[in-house]
Chain A
């Protein structure tokens, strides 16, 4: 099956700086890549996603890039704010499929 690896496991940045989280996947058939933010005591929340026919997608301060050849995708958060502090998960699946494979998570701390 699919194997998704996520790095780093923890990340601390100063408020206003950028944060980058990277994931790799193993199954070339995967073509849908969502990112989730999980705050303490809550369920993961979808924040952005990308499909394999797109190389980059932006939504305000967050962006995701995808390199299909290298099988990796990244989450970029610019102008970080304390409320961005949370655990972030990447995932991979086959579009219209039924199984999602998640990375192990990155704990992001934004220092005021």
Chain B
């Protein structure tokens, strides 16, 4: 599992509330990623990080922000959750020359 944990594993929240998801890794990888998984869309990249305080947008970044203040932690924040952000969120680390993606167990988020 590449030493990745995600918290919480499940969350139900109301529209308009802020939500923060945490990804923690124990193997000191430089690259970390946040994806969302939805039926019919596969996995889509939200944001990624290539070092402490170094982040960039993926293909579906609107409505999300990220922070990385320590190598081991990568936080995903929904400033004001919407129903369209109901999804399963996966964190990944990138290993090796090709940044092979190794995924965490996921967080199921429901916005009501």
Q: Is A76 an interface residue (CB 8 A)?
A: no
Q: A34-B101, A49-B100, A95-B97 are in contact. Are A100 and B42 (CB under 8 A)?
A: no
**CA separation between A104 and B1, bound complex, in Å?**
22
- The answer on a CB contact under 8 Å between B101 and A100 is yes
- The answer on a CB contact under 8 Å between A46 and B42 is no
**CA separation between A57 and B94, bound complex, in Å?**
21
Q: A43-B90, A43-B106 are in contact. Are A102 and B100 (CB under 8 A)?
A: no
- The answer on a CB contact under 8 Å between B42 and A105 is yes
- The answer on a CB contact under 8 Å between B102 and A46 is yes
Min C-beta distance of B99 to chain A, whole Å = 7
Interface residues contributed by chain A, number (CB under 8 Å): 28
Question: Which residue of chain A has the shortest Cβ distance to B104 in the bound complex?
Answer: A43
Q: Is B103 an interface residue (CB 8 A)?
A: yes
Q: Is B62 an interface residue (CB 8 A)?
A: no
Contact of B99 among A36, A45, A98 (CB under 8 A): A98
Looking at chain B's contact residues, the main secondary structure is strand
Question: Which residue of chain A has the shortest Cβ distance to B91 in the bound complex?
Answer: A43
Identify which of residues 40-90 in chain B touch chain A, using a CB-to-CB cut-off of 8 Å.
40-45, 48, 50, 56, 58-59, 90
Min C-beta distance of B33 to chain A, whole Å = 8
Min C-beta distance of B67 to chain A, whole Å = 18
Question: Which residue of chain A has the shortest Cβ distance to B59 in the bound complex?
Answer: A1
**CA separation between A95 and B100, bound complex, in Å?**
10
Question: Which residue of chain B has the shortest Cβ distance to A33 in the bound complex?
Answer: B98
- The answer on a CB contact under 8 Å between B104 and A99 is no
List A residues at the B interface (Cβ < 8 Å). Answer: 1, 4, 6, 32, 34, 36, 41-46, 49, 51, 89, 91, 93, 95-105
Ranked nearest first, the 9 interchain pairs of A and B with the lowest CB-CB distance are A43-B103, A102-B42, A102-B43, A104-B42, A32-B98, A44-B103, A95-B98, A43-B105, A43-B106
List B residues at the A interface (Cβ < 8 Å). Answer: 1, 4, 31, 33, 40-45, 48, 50, 56, 58-59, 90, 92, 94, 97-106
**8 residue pairs from A and B, CB less than 8 Å apart:** A41-B106, A44-B90, A91-B101, A95-B97, A99-B48, A99-B58, A102-B44, A104-B41
